[in-house]
Every structure is written in C-alpha cells, then in structure tokens.
Chains A and B, each alone.
Chain A
Amino acid sequence: MLFYSFFKTLVGQPVTVELKNDLAITGVLVSVDQFLNIKLDNIKVVDEERYPHMLAVKNCFIRGSVVRYVQLPAPSVDTALLQDAARRERQQPAAARR
C-alpha cells in the first residue's frame, strides 16, 4: 500500500497523467484509491488538437490499469522518506501491517 499512501499525500497537487493510449492529462489530483485509480479536477489535455472529445470535460476519473506515467511536482516528493518507507514496509511482516 506504499504507493497508495504516497499518492494520498499528493492530493491537491497538480499532476500530469500519461495514459497507455498516449493521452496526457494535467489536472489537480482529487483522489486516489487502492487500484491507483486517479481522479483529476480542472483538467487540460496536453495535445488538445488530437483529442477533441476532451474539450468539454472538466474533471475525470482515470482507471489505474490504463496509466503509464504520473508526472509529479518535484518539490512535493521526498525521495529519502519514500526510500525509508519502502525499507520499513519490507521489514514488517505482512501480518503485522494489517
């Protein structure tokens, strides 16, 4: 659940989600769930001319399984903390985490 928890800390930040069909959407992260489904608000499609159907869409829900990349604002990512969290998750037996 590390990445789920991590994405939860990014709620409210502007992110760019690139999908497996090459569509890239920038917007404010509203919510994320355990499948890493992502909800964005105030969206803007990076290459609008290629995707005219997205013009009238203001917020969207993206299924986690179709996401290729999520581009994050660098200042809001603490890599040292993430590394530490990964180590801690590894050390804890699965049963104790429940």
Chain B
Amino acid sequence: MDSFQIFTTSTSLVDSVDKKLLVVLRDGRKLIGILRSFDQFANLVLQDTIERIYVGDAYGDIPRGIFIIRGENVVLLGEIDLDKEDESPLREVPVEEILQVQREEMELRVKREKIKNRMLSDQGFSVDQAEFGDLY
C-alpha cells in the first residue's frame, strides 16, 4: 500500500467540514451539528450540536453543545439539504412533549417484547436476552 492511500477517509469527509450534518449513532440517537474535525476512524468533532428525537411524525430538539464522537459509534453522516428540510412533513414539538411521547413508545415496545418473549419461551424457544436494540 502506498502511504498516500492510507488516509482515504479524509478525502471523503473533507468536503463535509464546516457543514451542517446529521449523525446517526449506534444507540439510535440523531445528532445535528457542524462538523469541525475528523480522522481516519471517523472520530468526529461537532459544534453547536442538537440532539433530535423523532417519534412518528413529530420531533423535538435538545441543545447539547460540542461533541467529540468516538468513530466506532458512528453509523452514518448525512449532509442536510436545506430545501428539503423546509418542505419536511414533520412537525416540531416542545422537548418535554417529545420526551413524554418517546417514553410512552419505549414502554409500549418493552411490553410487546415481553409478551413476544413469553410466547416464544412457552413454545420452547430459547429467548435471546441481549440488550434491547443493539444490533451491531
């Protein structure tokens, strides 16, 4: 391998520096901020970051500030199309409201999962007790 090829991640992320990006993390969180720095592992520095929580057709923002994200937790980085963002069918709701709705949805999911697991184990299947949601 020629040494100039080792840093090819930089050739692909360097155009995204100083732009507003959506970062999806492995735990399902969505962060929106300005990319200030990165390296070959996709470790990232985000400035003026907000965490955006989506439930159904609603979303809510929590201001978070500066993030240094360890690369292994990054799923994808998307550049936000400002035109498309304006015509989005989603509606913004206050943080407290979205957190409440998110909690309710989570409880519903846990309840459904419990029922499913009970039915499976009644049928003699072994149920994977791995932590909920980590597919990676």
Contacts and interface: CB of A to CB of B under 8 A. Distances in A.
Contact of A63 (B5, B75, B80): B75
B74 interface: yes
Nearest to B72: A65
B24 A56 contact: no
Given A57-B22, A58-B84, A52 B75 contact: no
B26 interface: yes
A19 B75 contact: yes
A56 B11 CA distance: 24
B88 A56 contact: yes
Interface string B1-36: 100011011011100100000101010101000000
B76 A58 contact: no
Interface in A1-43: 1, 19-23, 30-31, 33-35, 37, 39, 43
A58 B54 contact: no
Interface residues of B, number: 36
B90 interface: yes
Interface residues of A, number: 29
Given A52-B54, A61-B76, A33 B84 contact: no
A83 to B, nearest CB: 23
Interface in B47-62: 52, 54, 57, 59
Nearest to A61: B77
Contact of A53 (B5, B42, B54, B71): B54
Contacts of A1: 1
Contacts of B75: 19, 21, 23, 62-63, 66
A61 B19 CA distance: 13
